Amino acid sequence: MDALQDIHSISWWENSLNTFREEAIAFGERIIICIIIYFIGRKLIKYINAIVSKLLSKKDFDPTVTSFLKSLINIVLTAVLIITMINILGINNSSFVAILASVGVALGMAMSGTLQNFAGGVMILVFRPYRIGDYIQAQSQEGTVKDIHIFNTEIITSDNKTVFIPNGGLSTNVVVNFNNRKTRRIDLTVGLDYGTDFDIAKSTINDIIQSDKRILPDPVPVIALKNLGQSTVDTLIRVWVNTPDYWNVYFNLNEQIYKIFAQKGIGLAFPQMTVHLAQE
């Protein structure tokens, strides 16, 4: 009797080991298939993105729309690839969806900011406060927009740093777009010494303005005495230029005023204090 029990026990262990070995081999095969599908899928996603990008460029789509759609397509196709791999592994879809839903509720609370950034990206795409190539100022950062992704906007600063700004903040806060208008106004304040002949200074500034052909004649440039400060006579200069010329003209005006004022002996003021000594 004991011998029969031993034989049955050995047989059960052998069947169990065989079953485990077969299932392990089958699971290993599925893992290998998943790895192959993953690499093929990633290459296919890149290929589809390249085709979409090429088609959109041929149709002269806005680069902003192209960037956003490429980012969206990449995420959707990646999600499809993951679900396909889960099916190959033999994980029950209904169980997976139930787990995913429960996890999604928990993550939804934790990722509310991410969802806000996605909604912000959609709003930016619809209302177009800025486009790729625009120079913007937002969230204490400023630079040229390089790409608009689903969750953030990538800008390049003037000193060549890459900054990623969440779309949620961009869609709900102030964004200054310096390229939205064809022209911009330059405002300069020049401090003159007290005792300087204002008419001569004004005429000299006007000659400097007239000599720079990048400065627009309309609206008419403004030169006015702005303020009588403690140690300076503040002179306001306002001129209009085409937006791409803004910084070049701004720097050139400062340089020319400094050089020509020095040649003509027109004094530029600097902070100073006069001390009177009382005699006993």
- The residue behind tokens 């070995």 is 21
Q: In what order do the strands lie in the sheet with 141-148?
A: 162-166, 152-156, 141-148, 135-138, 176-177
The pLDDT of residue 166 is above 60? yes
Domain regions of the chain by residue span: 12-110, 119-177, 183-264
pLDDT value at residue 199: 92
Among the listed residues 273, 276, 275, 202, the one whose alpha carbon sits nearest the alpha carbon of residue 232: 273
What does the pLDDT look like over 41-67, one tens digit per residue?
A: 888 888 887 777 777 676 666 666 677
Looking at the domain covering 12-110, what would its CATH class be?
mainly alpha
The answer to whether 168 and 153 are in contact (CB under 8 A) is no
CATH topology of domain 119-177: SH3 type barrels. (2.30.30)
What does the pLDDT look like over 76-110, one tens digit per residue?
A: 788 777 777 777 776 665 555 555 565 555 555 44
Residues in the chain: 280
What does the pLDDT look like over 130-165, one tens digit per residue?
A: 888 899 999 889 999 998 888 889 999 989 999 999
What does the pLDDT look like over 36-48, one tens digit per residue?
A: 888 888 888 888 8
Report phi then psi at 50, rounded to 5: -65, -40
pLDDT value at residue 73: 78
What does the pLDDT look like over 253-265, one tens digit per residue?
A: 999 999 999 999 8
Q: Name the pLDDT band for 268 (thresholds 50, 70, 90).
A: confident
Rg (the chain; Cα; Å): 35
Among the listed residues 22, 26, 17, 16, the one whose alpha carbon sits nearest the alpha carbon of residue 90: 26
Token pair of 244, please? 């791409």
CATH topology of domain 183-264: Alpha-Beta Plaits (3.30.70)
- The residue behind tokens 């177009």 is 128
Tell me how far apart the alpha carbons of residues 42 and 58 are, in angstroms, rounded to a whole number: 24
What does the pLDDT look like over 181-223, one tens digit per residue?
A: 899 999 999 999 888 899 999 999 999 999 999 999 999 999 9
H or E element that contains 234: strand 233-242
pLDDT value at residue 172: 85
**pTM beyond cutoff 0.75:** no
The pLDDT of residue 72 is above 90? no
pLDDT value at residue 242: 95
Percent of the chain at pLDDT > 90 equals 35
